[in-house]
Amino acid sequence: MTDRFLKACRREPVDCTPVWFMRQAGRYMPAYRALRERYGLLEMIKTPELAAQVTLQPIEAFAVDAAIIFADILPPLEGMGLRLSFERGEGPVIHNPVRTPAEIAALQQPDPRESVPFTLEAIRLVKRALGGRVPLIGFSGAPFTLASYAIEGGASRDYRRTKELMYSQPRAWHVLMEKLAALVSAYLAAQIDAGADAVQIFDSWAGVLAPGDYATYVLPYVQRCIAAVKNRDPRTREPHAADGTPAPVPVIYFATGTSGMLSLLRHTGADVLGIDWRIQIDDAWAQIGPGIGVQGNLDPCALFAPWPEIERRAADILDRAAGRPGHIFNLGHGILTETPVEHVARLAEFVHKTTATR
């Protein structure tokens, strides 16, 4: 098993820098598009055999060091009573958004084993198919990012309704975040029980917040989700070391646009922080401190440059990371739809080759 990804999450020495790509399964891959012509996105996510097949596509195609389960951050909201669909060209839509204290009070608290059994089954299928080749990452949306979809009903330019609720109905906001934190904690625990070797929490839109608002209205709930993973009885895990010690499950917290609040993010309790490209990785690491790993931070658009330019930028990130324990190479956000496949393949190999000779 290539376990350099898990080793890096624990800041242990590695043979070379591990690499994977957020949204590594997706429309830029011909194999994905071929399946997607026949099935809808939610249909693929809700059919464990298809979700497992898509999860494995980038593992077969590239030298990536981790798989990430094919799912989405939004289906777990359906069990709370929210109606979700993906509209062509529009992205996700929640048809009955929550905007009042009464609507928030009416949200249900589903057991993920009942509301999203398909993703848990997909994890079991992938673990079997991987046969230990690479570890499998489970994931969830973070409470804030999920709240923003539940309130706005979809993507938003300014998150005005989300902030309006936060500022004018703080008690209802906290009730919503408590419910979402409980959902995220239970969902991550269920994925770990099903076999996920690490988990990532996506707080994609947290960067729209002022740091003070992040500290008051968001950070405590991220801490709660991560503590819930950390405080689980490790005896429920498969032993990972020769001496039979149960593996602690690493948690990665990823948020974009948060360069101005890394001093807050270091208090989330995450083993690894994912950073975007709006800050240089050595500056970010200086603010985060040595006890936490860092994942990132190539601009996804860089993959559209000619190869020598991609190589120059990747080498710069590796130079700045300077072989610190806990570096995981990734993009600063999800891979984009039209990304040239051969650049993805070449980049994974470049990261390994360059860091193996250090």
Counting other chains too, the contacts that 163-172 makes at CB distance below 8 Å and 24 or more residues apart are 163/209, 163/213, 165/99, 166/213, 166/217, 169/101, 170/217, 171/101, 172/100, 172/101, 172/104
Question: Does the CA dihedral 119-123-128-134 come out positive or negative?
Answer: positive
Active site residue 235: no
Instruction: Specify which residues 296 forms β-bridges with.
Output: 329
Asked about 324 being catalytic, the answer comes back as no
Q: Does 68 bind ligand CP3 (CB under 6 A)?
A: yes
Q: Which residue is nearest to ligand CP3 (CB)?
A: 204
**Member of 24, 115, 162, 355 binding ligand CP3 (CB under 6 A):** 24
Classified as helix, coil or strand, 173 is helix
Contacting range for ligand CP3; rule: CB under 6 A; set: 3-11, 71-79, 127-135, 306-314? 71-79
For ligand CP3, the binding residue among 5, 28, 62, 139 (CB under 6 A) is 139
**CA separation for the pair 172, 331 (Å, rounded):** 35
User: Shortest gap between Cβ of 13 and ligand CP3 (angstroms)?
Assistant: 27
Tokens 């957020």, residue located:
22
Cα(330)–Cα(82) distance, rounded to whole angstroms?
Answer: 32
Looking at beta carbons only, is 217 or 254 nearer to ligand CP3?
Answer: 254
Which of positions 226-285 make contact with ligand CP3 (CB under 6 A)?
A: none
| 338 exposure class (CB count in 10 Å sphere: 0-12, 13-18, 19+) | exposed
User: Would residue 133 show up in a list of annotated catalytic residues for this protein?
Assistant: no
Residue 159 in contact with ligand CP3, rule: CB under 6 A: no
Active site (annotated) includes residue 187 = no
In the list 138, 300, 334, 355, the residue contacting ligand CP3 (rule: CB under 6 A) is 334
Least distance CB 206 / ligand CP3 (angstroms): 10
Tell me how far apart the alpha carbons of residues 184 and 104 are, in angstroms, rounded to a whole number: 16
149 tagged catalytic: yes
Considering CB under 6 A, how many residues would be counted as binding ligand CP3? 22
Does 27 bind ligand CP3 (CB under 6 A)? Our answer is yes
Three-state DSSP at 126 gives: helix
Is residue 72 part of the contact set for ligand CP3 (CB under 6 A)?
yes
Residues within the interface to ligand CP3 (CB under 6 A): 22-27, 36, 41, 68, 70, 72-74, 86, 91-92, 139, 155, 202, 204, 333-334
Which residues are designated catalytic?
23, 27, 36, 72, 149
